Amino acid sequence: MGIEMGFRLAPRTLNLFGSAQGHCAARSWFDEQPKKQPLLLLVDDAQLAAPDTIRQLNWLNSELVTRPLVIALARIPGMGGPEMNRLLARNSPHVERLALGPLDRAAVRSLLDDLLDAAPDARLLALADDLGGNPRLIVDLVTGLRAERRLEVSGGCARLSSNAVPRRLRTTLIHMVRSLTPATRQLVQVGAALGPSFRLADAAKLLRATPGDLLLGVDEAVAGGLLVEDGGRLAFPGRLLWHGATESVPNSVLTAIKAELPSLPATGAGTVPGQDEAGEAEEPARTAATEMPGWADLTDTERQVARLVGAGMTNRQVARDARMSSHTVNYHLRGIYRKLQIRSRVDLARLIYQNGP
């Protein structure tokens, strides 16, 4: 569309973030173009950018003022850390933010039709409805079902062969929660212990905070599609998102939180996390293994670091989550890159996304 409007499209190899060399290359490419030539640079998965490379983009304002330039950044809502939030929150006439809302049921059905090349049956459609209209999760659902051979397609109809949620999807859900900023992650996880919907006042009591203290966390969780407003309460937009948030909490912590629940008013928690509507235990989600080349050569710690980095976490966030120093994270990353024969955290994220946990 940009080319049709007269823009010159930046080459695919041009990385706005990446290394310091990539940063210089982007600016150099802009400077090489005629001043009156409209330029268009598309950046996907911006949430994977390292904080230091985001801070180096202070030259962007001058470029935007002096030439016809459009840089389109796409990211998963709520992810990318405070540096990315500051970049996108600039009070500037040159920055415009577009938030894509969840898909409605008709769009979910259309997406499933395209992915399956068949019509989903009622059970499969109901499972997709539990993902809050998030297209990334719907893609992971279909990809995971295919990888685990839990889809039966015949006569133009796609049917589930079992009720179990694919490991790929469940791990993605857990990573979505663990990639939030610490305060928001804590709010979502405590809320999940309260149930599929909960009162903010109850979460605040468990967190030893006031509802006002949780305002920014609520905004981030809602923007990221993990929570929605529901008649004065906060709710997970689908049963699977609630289960994913619950499974992101260590069992010891979840047990301790639940021990405090009797002191709170009734929350209407409903189904016990980890069980389906019939009360049958779902398949465990925490012991997945991928078939990507080199994965078997990684140590358990390297696999943990790889999954967290693949979910878009910064080294500091990984260090906090894995209880190690940032220097240790860097050490493990070097070993991961060598064993998987890749060069960057973006390569790692794509491998994790394409091959599952």
**Positive or negative: CA dihedral 143, 312, 17, 330:** negative
87 vs 248, residue with greater confidence:
248
204 by Cβ neighbours in 10 Å (0-12 / 13-18 / 19+) ranks as: middle
Helices (H) and strands (E) in the chain, counts: 17, 9
Q: What is the mean pLDDT of residues 68-83?
A: 80
**How many of the other CB atoms lie within 10 Å of CB of 20?**
10
Q: Check whether 237 has a pLDDT greater than 60.
A: yes
What pLDDT was estimated at residue 61? Answer: 75
Average pLDDT, the chain: 81
What pLDDT was estimated at residue 179? Answer: 79
- State the residue for tokens 């080319």: 3
Integer Cα distance of 254 and 98 in angstroms: 36
What pLDDT was estimated at residue 274? Answer: 40
What pLDDT was estimated at residue 283? Answer: 37
Q: Check whether 332 has a pLDDT greater than 70.
A: yes
**Positive or negative: CA dihedral 236, 240, 245, 250:** positive
What pLDDT was estimated at residue 202? Answer: 92
Q: Check whether 242 has a pLDDT greater than 50.
A: yes
Phi and psi, residue 210, nearest 5°: -95, 155
262 vs 105, residue with greater confidence:
105
pTM: 0.60
Whole-number Cα distances in Å, 320 to 85, 150, 326, 329: 20, 36, 9, 10
Q: What is the mean pLDDT of residues 205-215?
A: 91
Q: Check whether 161 has a pLDDT greater than 60.
A: yes
How do residues 279-329 score in pLDDT, each as one tens digit? 333 433 333 344 567 788 888 888 888 888 876 677 887 887 777 888 888
254: which 2 tokens?
Answer: 């979840």
Q: What is the mean pLDDT of residues 183-199?
A: 92
Integer Cα distance of 255 and 259 in angstroms: 6
How do residues 262-284 score in pLDDT, each as one tens digit? 766 654 444 434 444 333 334 33
What pLDDT was estimated at residue 312? Answer: 66
Q: What is the mean pLDDT of residues 156-175?
A: 87
Integer Cα distance of 150 and 173 in angstroms: 19
**Positive or negative: CA dihedral 106, 108, 112, 114:** positive
Q: How far is CA 50 from the centre of its chain?
A: 16
